[in-house]
Amino acid sequence: MVATAQVRRSSPTYLVLLLVLLLQGITACATQPQRDDWLYQSLGGQVGIERLVNRFLHRVADDERIVHYFYGIDISRLEQKFAEYLAMVAGGPEPYLGEQPGFVHRGYHITEAAFNAVVEDLLDAMAELGIPLAARNELIARLAPLQPHILGTDP
């Protein structure tokens, strides 16, 4: 990318350009497909999501930053429920029958750094499985609003 015309204080061209870009970004965000199942398909459907959760949990098990949060947890149940949850978030057909994420994590005193470590493990697992970048980003975008609930900092 290369800056083009010379900047003139008197000319608002750059300002207008920037505002247009800002609006485009916001519009693109607002018009993102929401109800269809493209993300679910990109993640490989139910089978792909189960494989993703499995790879993710292997990474968590090796992650000294966060593994202690999982001591004493029924991992096979977690594996099943997390896959169900991701499938629902991704627009899959199966219902999620577990508890709300905020409730499940109550009392664990999860730090911001621990939450981000989970995000990184999930991103790494998705990359390992060759999931396209746009799908990885979209899944993170859909999970991100959970952060205050998981941390217990939501109002």
The binding site for another protein (CB under 8 A) comprises 1-9, 14-15, 18, 21-22, 24-26, 28-29, 32, 111-113, 116-117, 119-120, 123, 132-135, 137-138, 140-141, 144-145, 147-148
Nearer to another protein, 8 or 95 (CB): 8
Nearer to another protein, 100 or 137 (CB): 137
Nearer to another protein, 12 or 93 (CB): 12
DSSP code of 93?
S
Least distance between another protein and beta carbon 111 (Å): 5
- Percentages of the chain per state (helix, strand, coil), in multiples of 5: 65, 0, 35
Tokens at residue 14, please?
Answer: 């750059």
Provide φ and ψ at 127, rounded to 5°.
Answer: -65, -40
Least distance between another protein and beta carbon 89 (Å): 13
Nearer to another protein, 4 or 76 (CB): 4
Number of Cβ within a 10 Å radius of residue 97: 9
143: Cα separation from own chain's centroid: 4
Least distance between another protein and beta carbon 106 (Å): 18
Least distance between another protein and beta carbon 101 (Å): 14
Residues 6+ apart with CB under 8 A from 23: none
